Amino acid sequence: MERLSVLDAGFLQVEDSDPRVSLAIGSVTILEGPAPDFEEFTTVLGGRLAAAPRLRQVVRTHPLDLEPPHWADVDELDLGHHLRRVALPAPGGDAELFDLVSEIIERRLDRNYPLWECWLVEGLADDRWALIVKLHHAVADGVSATAMMAALNDDDGTTGSFATHLHEAHETEHPSLLSRISLNPLDWGKAAWELSAGAADLAIQTVRGSVTIVGDMVRPAPESSLNGPVGSLRRYRAVRVPIADIRAIAHAFDATFNDVALAAVTHGYRQVMLNRGESPRPDSLRTLIPVSVRDTAALDTPDNRVSLMLPLLPVDLQTPLEQLKTLRRRMRRAKSSGQRQAGANVVDVANRFLPFPLTAWTVRAVSRLPQRNIAGLATNVPGPREQVRMLGRTVVAMLPIPPLAVRLRIGVAMLSYADDLTFGILADYDSNPDLDLLAEGIESAVADLARQV
């Protein structure tokens, strides 16, 4: 029996705390036509998805959370429940596609079945079609979900991914302490000293990072239209920018790829706040940034292996260049604060040593509190570095769909595919009628920075 980790189960518990949210993540894959008939779609793509063991399992919970939920195989996978077909109304443009994405992602997945859906979407402009894949966050994080969906490709998922270049996938800041022990008895005294010193250093960094995270979460924040109760309906938008521009900007201003992407998101948020008559302050937009702690050996393991950072995005600054320079400093400081290590180590301790009922009840209680300190979500997911094909058709674009919960009214996910970085934006419908301003602000920020390279 395979049990869910504390983090995996936490996504179920957070979803349970608010009947108006769905903690599904997803992607939109746009392909050249013609679209396959439904029989081909079901036979080929349905078969490829069903080959993933996790997608043939349901989650089983226990009364009062006395035991962790576990995965259980279904006797027979009902593809008719998971594979759907729909056509866009004319003219089949972005507006019609984004409306459909909103309708699909806002509905909760039925926990009586494996937690995924795949939609064949016909009727896109220019003789194109699309796949919308929806997956519960309890099944996988962005990196492992992308690896899982790579099985849909005609190359069997062997195309290289940007994930192979993630810092976390190449370096472990604290390699296994036991790996330092030599077989030579003469070295055991030195090894014992290194073990104790390494353990002490790890403990100090965990405590320091934990204190920083807790401080950021409880520090009073100004009122913001970006944080508050959410309804059950969603809006979705997406914007694509050239990866070459992001890299050139990062090189010119001694920043990272993520720094540039976050600067663009910052500028977009600022345009929204100004349009709403709000005065952006230095402490207006504390943002939850999930950070992968997954190594290469676990890229294909379906689960969640993320920590977090909680930087303030500088929406008070006027230009994208000012925002980028400030973000560069803040992100370096956040990375050195131990937040990422603290989050990962706290989850590991909870998995190993704490009674599951205690962690589950805590998550349920905390997620019902009116969280007011975090106003944004920004996550970056690496995708294929080269164009891929499905059913003999070229994949033109991939758009990410982030989750929404805990009073966050807007979430932004970034997905790299071939030559483009796509920003997928999911928002609460009622509180964000001006969501186009965020997408336009992201696009204009990248264009403005590229002109200064």
Residues forming the active site: 137
Q: What are the φ/ψ torsions at residue 111 (nearest 5 degrees)? A: -75, -5
Instruction: Find the length of the chain.
Output: 453
Q: What are the φ/ψ torsions at residue 431 (nearest 5 degrees)? A: -95, 0
Distances from the Cα of 368 to the Cαs of 64, 317, 437, in angstroms?
A: 17, 33, 30
Going by the DSSP 8-state scheme, the letter that residue 90 receives in this structure is: T
Full DSSP string of 120-166: EEEEEGGGEEEEEEEEETTT--HHHHHHHHGGGSTTTT-S-BGGGG-
Count helices and strands (H / E) in the chain.
Answer: 14, 15
Rounded-to-integer distance, Cα 218 and Cα 367, Å: 14
Going by the DSSP 8-state scheme, the letter that residue 44 receives in this structure is: I
3-state secondary structure 357-401: HHHHHHHHHHHCCCCCCCCEEEEEECCECCCCEECCEEEEEEEEE
CB atoms within 10 A of CB 272: 23
Place of tokens 């996910």: 413
Rounded-to-integer distance, Cα 66 and Cα 360, Å: 9
Both tokens of 147, joined, read 């690896």
CB atoms within 10 A of CB 122: 18
Full DSSP string of 260-275: HHHHHHHHHHHHHHHH
Using an 8 Å Cβ cutoff, are 422 and 225 in contact? Answer: no
CA 436 centroid distance within chain: 21
Q: Is the dihedral of CA 453, 273, 142, 8 positive or negative?
A: positive
Reading phi first (left if > 0) and then psi (alpha if -120 to 50, else beta), residue 157 is in left
Q: Is the dihedral of CA 242, 262, 144, 11 positive or negative?
A: negative
Burial of residue 51, with CB atoms counted within 10 A of its CB: 0-12 exposed, 13-18 middle, 19 or more buried = exposed
Rounded-to-integer distance, Cα 303 and Cα 296, Å: 14
